Amino acid sequence: MVDAPLLALHGISRSFGAGPVLDGLSLSISAGERRGLIGPNGAGKTTLINLITGKLRPDSGRVLYRGLDITDLPPHRRARLGIGRSFQILSLFGEASVGENIRGALLAKHGIGTTVARRLSSLEPIFAESEQIAALAGLLPFLGERVDTLPYGLQRRLDIALVTAQEPELVILDEPAAGLSAAETRDLIDLLEAIIRGCTLILVEHDMDVVYALSDRITVLDYGCVLTEGTPAEVNADPAVRRVYLGEETG
């Protein structure tokens, strides 16, 4: 019971039109684990994330979170249960300031998201908390800046900050290093090391340096199935992985 997984997927299948994207996939992630998820394009990584976060429902199979069957829960309920995610394409509110973005992310956590009438004093903790989060993400100097005026690297940091603002137990990041320069990527690794300490992580990423730096274990997907799973060293040495994935990168 101690080692009951935080997240367990049982026999997940999901098709879009022509054929299955995920084919009877099972996966189990323990609390505190950092799991890298890699695989060639079309292996089903984003579909898998969407099934965990509730954007999609599986054709068959169950999704269990803390032993609770969440297969049919809508996304916002899963978010409130502690599943936070970032999107492959940045989904920030560009016309608002950095502070407004963070405070918006905090509202739902505090249960005052859409109440029209609420005393303003109830917002004070949110302002304080948003500054802490901004400080942690290195965004404090930009709190009042419009998001769409910030360089891309800082926008990515804000994206991570919004996910962690809700203090999720499970953090799911979909290609957080996409579009970053080498220097920005190193900064991102440092930020993630600091900010997601204690969280369980699922990381989908093409940049293998990021995957190796942040993952305890790596799952390799291919054609909607788990090709293999192991420590970074094991996966790196696996000939099948080198053929379908790592080989593809160098070739």
Partner 1 sequence: MSHHLASLMVAGGLDALTYSSLAFLIASGLTVVFGMLGFLNVAHTSFYMLAGYIGFSIASRTGSFWLALLLAPPVTVALGLAAERLLFRRLYAAGHTPQLLLTIGLAYVIAETTKMIWGDDSLALAPPTGLGGHVVILGATLPVYHLFVIVITMALVGLLALLIGWTRLGMVVRAAAIHPQMVDALGFKLSAVHTFVFLVGLYLAAVAGVVMAPMLGIYPGMADDALVQSFIVVVAGGLGSLPGAFVVAGLLGLVQGFGSVFLSDYALYFPFVVLAGVLLVRPLGLFGRGGA
Give the residues lining the site for partner 1 (CB under 8 A): 53-55, 74-76, 79-80, 84-85, 87, 91-94, 104-105, 107-109, 112-116, 118, 162-163, 166
Nearer to partner 1, 158 or 244 (CB): 158
Q: Where are the alpha helices (DSSP H) in the chain?
A: 45-53, 75-81, 98-109, 124-136, 152-165, 182-195, 208-214, 232-237, 239-241, 247-250
**Least distance to partner 1 from the beta carbon of 175, Å?**
15
Nearer to partner 1, 42 or 113 (CB): 113
**Least distance to partner 1 from the beta carbon of 85, Å?**
5
Nearer to partner 1, 118 or 243 (CB): 118
What would the two tokens of residue 159 be? Answer: 């994206």
Nearer to partner 1, 106 or 227 (CB): 106
Residue in 19, 9, 10 with CA at minimum distance from that of residue 223 = 19
**Least distance to partner 1 from the beta carbon of 209, Å?**
26
**Least distance to partner 1 from the beta carbon of 115, Å?**
7
In eight-state DSSP terms, residue 147 is G
Residues 6+ apart with CB under 8 A from 108: 76, 79, 80, 166
Nearer to partner 1, 94 or 141 (CB): 94
13, 196 Cβ separation under 8 angstroms: no
**Least distance to partner 1 from the beta carbon of 229, Å?**
26
CA 101-31-37 angle, to 5 degrees, is 70
